[in-house]
Amino acid sequence: MRGAMAAAFTELQRLSRSLQDPEKVAAFQQLCGIQRLPAEKAAAPQAEEDRHPNGLENGAVPRRRGGEHRQAVRRNSLTGEESQEEFLVRSRLLYYLFSFGTELGNELFYISFFPFWIWNVDPYVGRRVIALWVMVMYLGQCTKDVIRWPRPHSPPVIKLELFYNSEYSMPSTHAMSGTAIPLALVLLSRARWQYPFIFGLLFALGWCSLVCLSRIYMGMHSILDVIAGVLYAIVILIVFLPALDLIDNFNMTYQYSPLIIISLHLALGIFSFTLDTWSTSRGDTAQILGCGVGVACGSHANYMLGLMKDPPLASMPFIIPDITVNLVGIALLRVFLGLAVLLPVRAVMKMVTIPLACKVFGIPCDDIRKARQQMEVELPYRYLTYGMVGFSVTCLVPFLFTCLGLH
């Protein structure tokens, strides 16, 4: 028995090393048409029309060169780090497809998708999915800082994305969110909406597959990182999904829930900042916790004020309405008005909280980039800014809709 266990453990180690091999990531990139430029071509000066006018953050548009596509040099706006590696993109379709897939795990998607779902589809499901997303992302980010596995080595891997390169690799939090969000949407909505369940599962599988493959394509994760992220998210989903009703009811109805929520999330943020030195993961963790706090406190205020009430259970299951010009117009109007509130709120909070935190903690504010890497600045700045954004999504904007008759 002991020998069999030892053999199984050895085989598991061999499989783990194989799935972590950066050569497999590089092979997948080559299969998808990503090719490293020879050193002499990369170093050669470009024609003026081939140059990109600006350093780009989080992805650049490929440029036509000799019938192929050339990737411009990009700069991380937070750290100032530049990527000097250039490469050819032979499949424009795959490049844009996987660029879209990786954006499904970035801030722009979250700040667009979650509000749209809450304002136009089903706030009941939206609140619960956000609560689960906060748990998944927090546990994933903390696990990265505990395990501390590096990103796949370059070379042989070609790094198409730079912004998250300072983070650790295991597990892939993109894979975790790309698994948890679509599965939670399907599982939470199947009893509330009439639609073929198999279509929901295919939708979740397609979403998850696109996000996971995009992280390998971008050269940011090994195959093992992605598999671990998917399995980790499924475990968290199994554990926390039954508790989402209890959590949501507590957030909305318990008198002192805002005080408890704010204190708990702040403590979790302080803990995560002690796990390792600075990386983009620390700021993202505070940002995610802030969103969770804002949405939960906004839901509480929303419930107390009677805004955007959940439909009665007797009216379920809901029938997906016909897509009409009027329906689309009202949805777009809600989104336009909502974002017209969210974006200024985010900008003003950033403008106020960073200098204020610097002043309170005596940190020089001459170089904003360096100041933001200090825990005393980054934690309150992210926590308060995105807490206010989350509160606006579930309270301020619904109040605006009520005043305008758009509820």
Name the burial class of residue 95, with classes exposed (0-12), middle (13-18) and buried (19+) by CB atoms within 10 angstroms of its CB.
buried
CA distances from 321 to 186, 308, 335, 382 (A): 18, 19, 18, 38
Name the burial class of residue 103, with classes exposed (0-12), middle (13-18) and buried (19+) by CB atoms within 10 angstroms of its CB.
middle
Mutual orientation of helices 197-217 and 173-189 as an angle, nearest 10°? 170
Question: What are the backbone dihedrals phi and psi of residue 347, each rounded to the nearest 5 degrees, phi first?
Answer: -65, -45
CB-based contacts of 16, cutoff 8 Å, min separation 6:
224
CB-based contacts of 68, cutoff 8 Å, min separation 6:
88, 89, 90
300 part of the active site? no
List beta partners, residue 194. Answer: 319
Contact 395, 401 (CB under 8 A): no
DSSP 8-state class, residue 82? B
- Tell me which of 174, 265, 300, 407 is the catalytic residue: 174
- Tell me which of 52, 69, 153, 221 is the catalytic residue: 221
Question: What are the backbone dihedrals phi and psi of residue 218, each rounded to the nearest 5 degrees, phi first?
Answer: -75, -10
221 part of the active site? yes
CA distances from 48 to 51, 53, 69 (A): 5, 10, 16
Active site residues: 174, 221
